[in-house]
């Protein structure tokens, strides 16, 4: 009578169950990575056919205007297509107390992209200090500043400075021909500016 074989040592069973656990863990990990990759893929972009579409932009039906000056809230405003200047001023919170309403036409139709400046009283009549004299009078060589002289043809910053220096050193110009005494001004340049200056 043969005696039954003793059961396998527990060490071998432990090795088998550890190996099975490692394989199972690898399978689960592989599945998780695969699902993650599939989820991370971007959804396909829907293609839209552009056949028959013209290259023109449809009008938006709105006007963008920039309102500045003597208004309560200067800024950029969106108006209806048939808006008038009064609508733009109203969108900017109305005018301030110093606004010169006689200087603007509130009934005028506004255009898209327009900048509207509501002047203050007296601002429309005030001329900047370096304003050029009317063309028929010409620029006064004895009173013009550097900026006014630089508006003359062929006169840059350097020549304008020499004209002022010559004027200061010699007590002013007695005639337009005195410009020939200024270094850098010759007959040709004088002929080009003669009609635009006076003394």
Distance CA 163, CA 181 (A): 9
Residues 6+ apart with CB under 8 A from 112: 62, 63, 64, 65
pLDDT at 106: 87
Mean pLDDT across 77-102: 90
Compute the average pLDDT of residues 183-190: 88
Query: Residues of the chain with pLDDT > 90: what percent?
Result: 14
pLDDT at 47 over 60: no
Among 86-90, 120-124, 126-130, whose mean pLDDT is lowest?
A: 126-130
């Amino acid at each position: 009578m043969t005696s039954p074989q003793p059961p396998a040592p527990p060490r071998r069973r432990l090795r088998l169950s550890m190996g099975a656990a490692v394989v199972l863990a690898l399978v689960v990990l592989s599945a998780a990575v695969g699902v993650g990759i599939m989820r991370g893929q971007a959804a396909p972009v829907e293609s839209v056919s552009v056949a028959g579409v013209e290259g023109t932009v449809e009008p938006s039906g709105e006007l963008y205007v920039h309102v500045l000056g003597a208004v309560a809230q200067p800024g950029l405003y969106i108006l209806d297509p048939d808006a008038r200047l009064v609508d733009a001023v109203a969108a900017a919170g109305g005018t301030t107390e110093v606004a010169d309403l006689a200087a603007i036409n509130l009934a005028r139709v506004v255009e898209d992209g327009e900048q509207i400046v509501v002047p203050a009283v007296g601002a429309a009549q005030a001329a900047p200090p370096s304003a050029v004299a009317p063309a028929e009078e010409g620029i006064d060589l004895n009173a013009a500043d550097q900026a006014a002289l630089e508006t003359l043809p062929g006169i840059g910053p350097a020549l304008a400075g020499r004209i002022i220096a010559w004027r200061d050193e010699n007590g002013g110009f007695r005639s337009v021909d005195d410009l020939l005494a200024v270094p850098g001004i010759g007959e040709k340049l004088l002929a080009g500016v003669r009609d635009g200056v006076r003394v």
